[in-house]
Amino acid sequence: MKNINSKFVLMLFLVFAIPFCLYIGKTKPHMQSVFMEENIKNKVQTILDSNKDKELISNRSYDKFIYLVFNKDNVKTHYVIDTKTGEETSLFYYIKEERKEDFFNKINELLYLKYPKFIADSLVGEEKIKDVLLFDNELVLYYDKEGIEPKIEEDLLLHVNYNEVKDYLDFTLLLDSKYENENGYHYDKTKKTVALTFDDGPNGEKTNRILDILEENKAHATFFMVGNRMEYDKSTIYNVLNKGSEIGSHSYNHKNLKRMKLEDVLEGEEKTQEIFKNITGKEIIYTRVPYGSINDNIKENLNTIFINWSIDTEDWLHRNKDRVVQTVLNEIEDGAIILMHDLYDSTVEAVDTLLPILYAQGYQVVSVSELAALKSVQLEQHKVYHSLKEI
């Protein structure tokens, strides 16, 4: 009888216990999932409660994490909660491990596109990134600017469209069909801006060294060249134009136009135009008369826009780097036109020192045409301009 009861109990156990165990096995992952969802909800709620004094500006769920951003007094704080582990983590965790080097190489490439070399050199490296924020179509990197000389007052940050880094990030992205990267040559109408100009070239090596310095500092300039020197230095003319700067006339042979017959002045300008057009296929629209020496007769008969200056560095007289730099810094103001000469090593050195300082002080350094456009000034023929103020 005992044996029969034992067998009966065993059969009942098998009939009920096995399906129950199978049921538990099937529901366990579901139970774990429910538990994790509840845990994440509690995590998010805790973060929300602890930041009640701040404005919630982003609360988004991505396929692998939940992302929250708060703002208070223009200081942003963000949280990343992994939806698999429920733990707080970093956005950098979602860069594909095997593509991290590619990701940061791309970031560095975009840094040098936006900022002058002296800034970009200081920002290269993951350790210089102090924060990263996600937005609809881009991520924004915020940088530590400590140690940069000259000291930069503005915040340093980089907007990176997801199209640029989509192959390196390990989460689903919203991609724009069209986008444009930040570029240091996309000048801002709201910023202080000055035009940098050089007379008496082209001068081969020194002109080209200045062009390299301009490029490193996201700057342009206007080079007023002497006509009879142009045809002997075509490569420099091409380099000026290819790097985004512009060329004006500084007469044909650098004589004082007021002491010349008008027909000789006109003939000289025609020669200069012809030489320039033969080299470039373009026409010169600006003229700076030698020594700034001009009269009404010249103004009325030359079909050009006359550009003089508001800051004379006298670099030709003193040939001293520090004096040139200090002259500009003492007299600089929005809309100024700065006069230099691309003939002297001291001037090249002064430009190299000056441009980072001006950038740090919030100035954009551009060509005459760019300055006029940024200041909404319509330049007219037969008029002389010493500076360009916004109308």
- Which amino acid is residue 334, in one-letter code? D
Find the catalytic residue in 199, 233, 315, 342: 199
Question: Nearest 5°: CA angle at 222, between 229 and 324?
Answer: 95
User: Which residues neighbour 223 within 8 Å (Cβ) at sequence distance 6 or greater?
Assistant: 197, 198, 201, 202, 207, 240, 245, 246, 247, 248, 342
188 is catalytic: no
Measured distance CA(334)–CA(388) in Å, rounded: 8
Query: Where do runs of H (alpha helix) occur along the chain?
Result: 2-50, 100-114, 117-123, 162-165, 204-216, 227-230, 234-242, 262-280, 296-301, 315-318, 321-331, 345-360, 368-374
CB 194 within 8 A of CB 334: yes
Find the catalytic residue in 250, 315, 341, 342: 341
- Alpha-carbon Rg for the chain, nearest whole angstrom, is 33
Measured distance CA(307)–CA(326) in Å, rounded: 23
CB 200 within 8 A of CB 226: yes
User: Which residues neighbour 30 within 8 Å (Cβ) at sequence distance 6 or greater?
Assistant: none
Measured distance CA(197)–CA(189) in Å, rounded: 20
Question: Is beta strand 138-143 parallel, antiparallel or unpaired with respect to 337-341?
Answer: unpaired
159 is catalytic: no
Active-site annotation, residues: 199, 341
